């Protein structure tokens, strides 16, 4: 039995002799490379936290002590050490989640994979336990330097620092990266901490001198205090954390288990909030990940573990289409600028950044700031393009509404990974953006149906200078172009009978146009008269679409957003407002948190396949 197989719970890890811990760490890394290369997942982040996770579980007592992982993509090692070693179905339907999951283990606390929330969670847990009189239970928050750039983390720090006796340990996992190198003032501050040792050496010298001259308030103590105050911000930038009221421990080598355990025990014994600064190497132990400047190993698909190369080379992606369009439009218009929230490469802005380095802003994990900054850029006469994942628009709703829409700011939001994203699960499905957008006055929303429509939509969007606009597209590769047979005032008609009224008008939204066409084929084969329309710009609902609805017995809207408040609801409202007595059937994602699985599996479970939609419509058209 291997060392790893002997560990089914943290108590087993505590029993491992210190001399055997390096071998266990190597076993864990070998396991991760072997297993994650078969299923895909977050490889780089987990290779970097092997020793850190081991040390946390050896020093603290999970689940009695709560361990909160910020974002959670670095929790694979935690899963292994808490009895979950079957990774064969990782991120697949019925298998382990790629993030912490309460359904899997009592050791998992926070399931949401949205960054920068761990300190608020930890503060609440620690305060709750204090109110209940549970003073002997610790709370540990593990947050990366990337997630620490988020404003929510600093809101929490502001409150945590005021609690001098709260048993809360903040572990900053500093690997200089989130998806890509961490940017900003905090990143520079942590970089200084990594390279500064003089302050600790000075204090060690001072303590020796005080022992030699132990006079309270004497000249040596006063001199030491004055020198310490003067040197603190020059030699020891950890003063920033200490000035907040947080005890600072570090920097600590995140791959030295004895040093980690010593630092964590010191933090645990302090009795109040402590920040432990740990330096780790993302991808450690796997050459391809360590040398990965483009962060391809942050999250991978199925790869050859020997070469690090994908087993299947994907075709052209939706993100590629956006990336190329941004570079071209940037060449044409100098007023176009771009904003990313620590995801330059994943959202396709690397090409724009390389071509126009003075017109790109990486704000860190701070979508709220990105949206309001964009409003300011628009006020200054530019047209900002904010590129984020669809799921993260949730975080910037107030800014979209009050800063962009209220002020009629010409800002384009490009939402990658919209709709069903699959393996990343509930908090990563981009299924709420259209419901959010639908209640924002004046907002325009386009959902391109194929890759060729992405640059067309983007070009139209940057011409909108009096309102925010959204362009959304899914994860994955683009299919073949879908050609319209005609256009009615901007609404593309894709399929229709030769003449006359129709039994059903099927409105396809974005990537679901292909499903709408498959539904039309099946219904037409049954003798029904079907028209398929793509509104192109789904919000505001085009008047031409309600005109087409007036020529049909029924309308069916097929979308991959929430059925509650999505485009179908907007179409139904527009039809009623037009005075039409035409029923509107809405086929979208249920108002539920959807589990991880492939895109096809999630759509099937949600009733968003052509066969399921045909069955439903057939009974309604009878």
Q: Tell me the pLDDT tens digit for each residue of 46-93.
A: 888 999 999 999 999 999 999 999 988 888 999 999 999 888 888 888
Could you please report the per-residue DSSP string of 573-593?
HHHHHTT----EEEEEE-SSP
Contact 325, 454 (CB under 8 A): yes
Token digits for 131? 């109110």
Over pLDDT 90: what percentage of the chain?
57
Residues with Cβ within 8 Å of residue 208, at least 6 apart in sequence: none
Report how far Cα 497 is from the mean position of its chain's Cα atoms. 44
Residue 163 is assigned to a ligand binding site: no
DSSP string, 233-266: HHH-TTHHHHHHT-EEEEEEETT-HHHHHHHHHH
- Other C-beta atoms closer than 10 Å to the C-beta of 262 total 15
Q: How many CA atoms lie within 13 A of 448 on its CB side?
A: 30
Confidence class for position 177, pLDDT limits 50, 70, 90: low
Question: Do the annotations mark residue 367 as ligand-binding?
Answer: yes
Tokens of 249: 């421990």
Q: 76 and 40 in contact (C-beta within 8 Å)?
A: no
From the CB of residue 207, how many other CB atoms can be counted at a distance below 10 Å?
A: 11
Sheet with strand 537-539: strands edge to edge? 360-362, 336-340, 383-389, 412-416, 469-472, 444-446, 537-539
Average pLDDT over residues 560-585: 95
Task: Name the pairing type of β-strands 412-416 and 360-362.
Answer: unpaired
Domain 318-472 has CATH 3.40.50.1400: no
Of the listed ranges 159-173, 196-210, 422-436, the least confidently predicted one is 196-210
Which CATH number applies to 488-621?
3.40.50.920
Three-class DSSP category at 445: strand
Q: Whose CA is closest to 44, among 282, 215, 254?
A: 282
Pairing of strands 336-340, 274-279: unpaired
Q: What is the CATH number assigned to the segment(s) 4-196+237-290? A: 3.40.50.970
What span, in angstroms and rounded, lies between the C-alpha atoms of 396 and 399?
5
Are 139 and 66 contacting, i.e. CB atoms less than 8 angstroms apart? yes
State the average pLDDT for the chain.
86
pTM for the model stands at: 0.81
What residues act catalytically? 282, 367, 395
> Is 187 annotated among the ligand-binding residues?
no
Residue 324, marked binder: no
Q: Is 115 annotated as a binding residue?
A: yes
Domain extents in the chain: 4-196+237-290, 318-472, 488-621
Residue 436 near residue 400 (C-beta atoms within 8 A): yes
Identical fold at 4-196+237-290 and 488-621?
yes
Nearest CA to 457 out of 535, 348, 379, 574 is that of 535
Sheet order of strands, 530-534 included: 486-488, 491-495, 530-534, 502-508, 552-562, 584-589
Q: Please check whether residue 524 is in contact with residue 420, taking contact to mean a CB–CB distance below 8 angstroms.
A: no
175 is in an annotated binding site: yes
At 293 the pLDDT is: 58
pLDDT score for 218: 54
Band of the pLDDT at 214, cuts 50, 70, 90? very low
d(CA 374, CA 368): 10
Q: Was 5 annotated as part of a binding site? A: no
The stretch 271-289 carries a mean pLDDT of 83
- Cα–Cα distance measured from residue 86 to residue 102, given in angstroms and rounded to the nearest whole number: 17
Least confident of 78-82, 106-110, 600-604: 600-604
């Amino acid at each position: 039995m291997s060392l790893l197989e002997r560990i089914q719970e943290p108590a087993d890890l505590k029993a491992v002799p210190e001399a055997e811990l390096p071998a266990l760490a190597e076993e864990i890394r070998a396991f991760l490379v072997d297993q994650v290369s078969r299923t895909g997942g977050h490889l780089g982040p987990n290779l970097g936290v092997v020793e850190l996770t081991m040390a946390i579980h050896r020093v603290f007592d999970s689940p009695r002590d709560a361990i909160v992982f910020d974002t959670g993509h670095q929790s694979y090692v935690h899963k292994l050490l808490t009895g979950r070693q079957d990774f064969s179905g990782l991120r697949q339907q019925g298998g382990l989640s790629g993030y912490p999951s309460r359904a899997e283990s009592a050791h998992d606390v926070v399931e949401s994979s949205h960054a920068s929330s761990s300190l608020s969670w930890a503060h609440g847990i620690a305060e709750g336990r204090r109110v209940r009189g549970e003073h002997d239970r610790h709370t540990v928050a593990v947050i990366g330097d990337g997630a620490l750039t988020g404003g929510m983390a600093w809101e929490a720090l502001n409150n945590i620092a005021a609690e001098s006796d709260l048993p809360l340990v903040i572990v900053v996992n500093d690997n200089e990266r989130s998806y890509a190198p961490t940017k900003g003032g905090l990143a520079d501050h942590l970089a200084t901490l990594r390279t500064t040792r003089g302050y600790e050496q000075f204090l060690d010298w001072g303590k020796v001198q005080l022992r030699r001259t132990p006079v309270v308030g004497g000249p040596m103590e006063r001199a030491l205090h004055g020198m310490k105050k003067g040197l603190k911000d020059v030699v020891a930038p950890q003063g920033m954390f200490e000035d907040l009221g947080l005890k600072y421990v570090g920097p600590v080598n995140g791959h030295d288990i004895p040093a980690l355990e010593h630092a964590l025990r010191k933090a645990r014994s302090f009795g109040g909030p402590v920040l432990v600064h740990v330096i780790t190497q993302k991808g450690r132990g796997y050459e391809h990940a360590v040398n990965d400047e483009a962060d391809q190993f942050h999250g991978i698909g199925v790869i050859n573990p020997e070469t690090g190369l994908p087993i299947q080379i994907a075709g052209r992606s939706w993100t590629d289409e956006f990336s190329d369009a941004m570079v071209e439009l940037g060449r044409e218009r100098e007023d176009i600028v771009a904003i990313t929230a620590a995801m330059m490469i994943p959202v396709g802005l690397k090409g724009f950044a390389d071509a126009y380095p003075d017109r790109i802003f990486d704000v860190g994990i701070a979508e709220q700031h990105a949206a309001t900054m964009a409003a300011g850029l628009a006020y200054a006469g530019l047209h900002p393009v904010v590129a984020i994942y669809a799921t993260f628009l949730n975080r910037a709703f107030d800014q979209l509404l009050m800063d962009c829409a209220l002020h009629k700011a010409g800002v384009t939001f490009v939402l990658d990974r919209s709709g069903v994203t699959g393996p990343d699960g509930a908090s990563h499905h981009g299924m709420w953006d259209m419901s959010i957008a639908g209640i924002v006055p004046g907002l325009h929303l386009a959902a391109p149906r194929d890759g060729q429509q992405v640059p067309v939509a983007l070009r139209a969007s940057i011409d909108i200078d009096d309102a925010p606009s959204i362009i959304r597209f899914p994860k994955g590769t683009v299919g073949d172009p879908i050609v319209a047979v005609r256009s009615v005032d901007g609404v593309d008609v894709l399929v229709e009978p030769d003449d006359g009224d129709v039994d059903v008008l099927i409105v396809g939204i974005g990537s679901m146009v292909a499903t709408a066409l498959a539904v039309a084929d099946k219904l037409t084969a049954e003798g029904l008269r079907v028209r398929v329309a793509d509104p192109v710009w789904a919000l505001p609902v085009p008047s031409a679409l309600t005109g087409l609805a007036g020529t049909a017995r029924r309308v069916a809207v097929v979308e991959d957003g929430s059925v509650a408040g999505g485009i179908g609801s907007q179409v139904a409202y527009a039809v009623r407002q037009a005075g039409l007595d035409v029923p509107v059937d809405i086929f979208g994602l249920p108002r539920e948190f959807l589990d991880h699985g492939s895109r096809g599996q999630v759509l099937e479970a949600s009733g968003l396949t052509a066969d399921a939609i045909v069955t439903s419509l057939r009974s309604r058209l009878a």
